Structure 1
Amino acid sequence: MQYRLFCSIFCAGLNLGAAPLLSHEFWIEPEKYQVNSGDPVVARLRNGQEFNGAEQPYLDHRIARFEVIRNGSAAPYKGRMGDMPAFSADETDDGLAVIIHQTQPQTLTYDTWEGFQAFIDHKGFAGIPGQHTARGLPGAGFSEQYTRYAKALVSIGSGAGSDRATGLETEIVALVNPYTDDLETGLPVQVLYQGSPRPQAQVEVFAKAPDGSVTISTQLTDVRGETIVSLAPGHSYLLDAVVLRPAPKGKDYVWESHWAALTFAVPEK
């Protein structure tokens, strides 16, 4: 048992450390996005690409914030070291539950420019190479610090309620409830950065069909930091938006990335 726990923690550390170099996403994946009142809510932390990824255990030294928000009230979540799934709650009240998970910052080093270029191309940061050169930074052997901010929306019983800003450095907020509101014209969302709307932010949309196939698209937010995501019944969704900014002076890394993720599902008609 101790050997399996060590392996799960060690392997998870390797996966998390390599993630941003390959533009991997990090998200919360509920076992069920809709549960009956009183039933347990179970969710996994995942790290990977194209809405498919390796499960990560509960690692308290990697967690900056882990909470469940119901009816506007936040309650911290505390698991056990090595738990997989990382989240399991037996006491579930009726309504919309918003699970949030913020990682501790971690650092990676780019040994080649190509790895960094692949990341910034994927996430739509066209101006970063010019900024990198203007700052006199090297083309290889430089470091980036990254932090993840994941949210998941789970419907319990009636699923009534709403998502809201939670004070994360960056986050994606669903402006309507995907379980109870009219989604005929799609789901409006807003991308926030330091509590303010983030205009012209690239939102990557991963849509997983009931058969497990995934389609991927990108769209930009408007001047209010908003965009409308087209949805299909029976699909689950991962939305991802990344902030990349220069590191403060004096740090041993030169860039900071902040990754916002939101997961939810659309009920079958």
Structure 2
Amino acid sequence: MAHEFWISPDAYQVPPGGTLTAEFRVGQEFAGAGYVFVPGRSERFELVTPEGVVELSPRVGDRPALNVPSPAEGLNVAVHQTTPLKVTYTDMDAFRRFLDHKDWDDLEAVHAQRGLPAEVFTETYVRYAKSLMSAGSGAGRDRFVGLDIEIVAVTNPYVDDLGGGMVVDVIYDGAARADAQVEIFEKAPDGEVAVSLMRTDETGRAVFPVKPGHEYLVDSVVIRSTGNDDAEAGPVWHSLWASLTFKVPE
């Protein structure tokens, strides 16, 4: 199983004048350790508010990484993009499991066609995380903010009727990502996590049922060639991870 990265608010909803705080987490099945802020691993970190975009500049070692007192009232969307990180595979089995999990199993044949080794090759990856948080009324809309891969919430879980489900769009390289796998992690109030898979339609849209009091992590991943076929010269694969977190009010 691959390790997801997500923004984990301490509280998804705060009263007017409250403080928004959130951790960076890495883990599996919506469970993972919190991490301190490391500037060298952060390419972009901001809060999109009803009054504009606020660039966030935590200090080295800050935890939680996001700590914003008295945010603008309405929907606040935290956005974080990591710098490129690297993982080295020492055997094909681990890479195959990753491909299978993220619905890119056809790349195993491409790997062989490119003449790449079955042992010792490198992948780079970048995480693109968003989180929907509410201050006061929670009114407002998420929007595309220009990430290389991005999940955009079409519905606002804090003010909209979710009887027809939560609606999200998956955007890659500025265009709708059609027929793409979306993984949904649903955490109940007692901490139990359910995992489901679905696919976007031809417009890059996915609609899924949600429950009051439950927390959600939505994930979609693209894996692509770096254009380098010499494993000794550098990374041969690059993956882009999009995540979105939110919680449905009771």
- Using structure 1 for the length normalisation, give the TM-score: 0.90
Q: Which residue of 2 aligns with 1:195?
A: 174
1:72–1:242 CA distance, 2 compared to 1 (3 A): farther
- Secondary structure of 2:119's match? coil
The answer to whether residue 25 in structure 2 is matched with residue 46 in structure 1 is yes
| Superimposed CA distance per residue, residues 6-51 of structure 1 (whole angstroms, 9 cap, x where no aligned partner) | xxxxxxxxxxxxxxxx510000000000110110001010000000
Identity %: 47
In the alignment, does 2:245 pair up with 1:263? Answer: yes
More strand by share: 2
Q: Deviations over 1:132-189 (max 9, x none)?
A: 1111111111100000000000011000000000100001001011110010010111
Structure-1 residue corresponding to 2:188: 209
Match of 1:147 among 126, 143, 163: 126
Q: 2:93 aligns to what?
A: 114
Of 68-77 and 53-62, the range deviating more from structure 2: 68-77
What does residue 225 of structure 2 align with? 246
Which residue of 2 is the match for residue 129 of structure 1? 108
C-alpha separation between the residues in 2 aligned to 1:237 and 1:231? 8
- How far does residue 91 in structure 1 lie from its aligned partner after superposition? 2.5
> Could you list the per-position Cα deviations for residues 53-108 of structure 1 after superposition, in whole angstroms to 9, with x for gaps in the alignment?
01010100100000000127211101111011111011311110000010000111
Which secondary structure state, in structure 2, belongs to the residue aligned with residue 58 of structure 1? Answer: coil
Distance in 1 between residues matched to 2:202 and 2:65, nearest whole Å: 37
| Count of residues in Structure 1 that have an aligned counterpart in Structure 2 | 247
Which runs of 5 or more residues in structure 1 are unaligned? Answer: 1-21
Name the residue aligned to 1:34: 13
Mapped contact 2:149–2:170 kept (Cα < 8 A): yes
Q: In the alignment, which residue of structure 1 is the partner of 2:54?
A: 75
Matched, 1:161 2:143: no
CA distance in 2, matches of 1:218, 1:75: 33
**More helix per residue:** 1
| 1:233 maps to which of 192, 198, 212 | 212
Q: Which runs of 4+ in 1 moved over 2 A?
A: 248-251
State the alpha-carbon separation in 2 of the partners of residues 138 and 199 from structure 1. Answer: 31
Task: Tell me the alpha carbon deviations over residues 203-258 of structure 1, each in whole angstroms, 9 at most, x when there is no partner.
Answer: 10000000010000010001100010210110000000000000033761000000
1:200 Cα offset (Å): 1.2
Give the root-mean-square deviation of aligned CA atoms.
1.1
TM-score, structure 2 as length reference: 0.97
Distance 1:31 1:219 in 2: 28
Structure 2 alignment gaps of length 5 or more: none
- Whole-Å Cα distance in 2 between the matches of residues 234 and 118 of structure 1? 32
